[in-house]
Amino acid sequence: MGIGGRDRPGTQMDEEMDDLSRIHTPVMLERTIELLEPAVARAGAVLVDATLGMGGHTEALLERFDGLTVIGLDRDTDALGIAAERLARFGDRLRPVHTVYDGILDAVAGEGFSAVDGILFDLGVSSLQLDRAERGFAYAKDAPLDMRMDASAGITAADVLAEYGEGDLRRIFQEYGEEKLAARYARAIVRARAEAPITRSGRLVEILSDATPAALQRAGHPAKRVFQALRIEVNAELSVLEHAIPAALDALAVGGRMVVLAYQSLEDRIVKRTLQAATTSTAPPGLPMELPEHQPRFRLLTRGAELASPAEQEENPRAKPVRLRAVERTRGNA
């Protein structure tokens, strides 16, 4: 479903768009374009930006390749509206679609294509979501504990804190936040919510800070991993990603390329595992020769995960944790 602009006065929208344009710096932009170029530079090429956000990567791609059409996916209707407004000058070369990225095959078919030439995933929380305090993603800003990437559907972080048992809270803090103090934080939350609902980020940060031993107070912000875990749980990010990457590989035409930018180890492990399987022969051990049907359908374009340059990391702090991986489709299905 295409998404248009916001119903706000033009001057307010223009001011907001200028602000958002300044704060949104696409990560590893030139390397991403370099990897995708052989697949998308031709006239009539189609690329899926599976995480459109405010359209930073897509804007650069549409400017660079004037024969390219981009299907831009995002579950966040605010982001889709802003991207559509920012990139309106490209006309129908941008096709915004409101969907979670594991719906990539339906989105591609819905836009009338059987396969695409390029796919980009820029995973994690977007600049828009982090910088709008009212969305509740940032532990440094007091706001309602929402954290839904699609603010129109699903449970909120406040719902999780109110309804999950101590064991489930501990589990998600351990699994999704890799938090060593998961048990301690889960107990503290259960005690605190017995007195009053935990509905704001400032209150949650206070509870976590009080529960952190003094010796660990300087080892990083006590809320960082818990907020990550809550966000992943609210948006089912890892289970969605486990379905999305194989679906994206199926959507690529022969010669098509996919680039994935991951920002935390849990995401990167899923991407690495899936791409390794797709680029490995399925031939049983001991065969004297590899039959064509056992040959991998994809080849890796990067050696391991690539990092942003030290200069980019210094200029754009959001580039520090990024891990970039890329593949090319070399043959069709058997």
Question: Given this chain, do its domains 10-128+237-329 and 134-235 carry the same CATH topology?
Answer: no
Q: Which CATH number fits domain 134-235: 1.10.3470.10, 3.40.50.2300, 1.10.150.170, 1.10.357.10?
A: 1.10.150.170
| 117 assigned binding-site residue | no
| 228 assigned binding-site residue | no
| 268 assigned binding-site residue | no
* pLDDT by position in tens, the chain (length 334): 333 332 333 333 444 444 454 446 799 999 999 999 999 999 999 999 999 998 999 999 999 999 999 999 999 888 899 999 999 999 999 999 999 999 999 999 999 999 999 999 999 765 555 555 555 566 668 889 998 988 878 899 999 999 999 999 999 999 999 999 999 999 999 999 999 999 999 999 999 999 998 877 776 777 889 999 999 999 999 999 999 999 999 999 999 999 999 999 999 999 999 999 999 866 667 666 666 666 789 999 999 999 999 999 999 888 999 999 999 999 887 6
Q: What pLDDT was estimated at residue 149?
A: 85
| 94 beta partners | 70
d(CA 189, CA 19): 36
| 106 assigned binding-site residue | no
220 Ramachandran zone, left/alpha/beta (phi>0; psi -120 to 50): left
| 101 assigned binding-site residue | yes
Superfamily name and number for 10-128+237-329: Vaccinia Virus protein VP39 (3.40.50.150)
d(CA 334, CA 331): 9
Q: What pLDDT was estimated at residue 284?
A: 67
d(CA 115, CA 85): 27
Q: What pLDDT was estimated at residue 214?
A: 82
State both tokens at 109: 């078919």
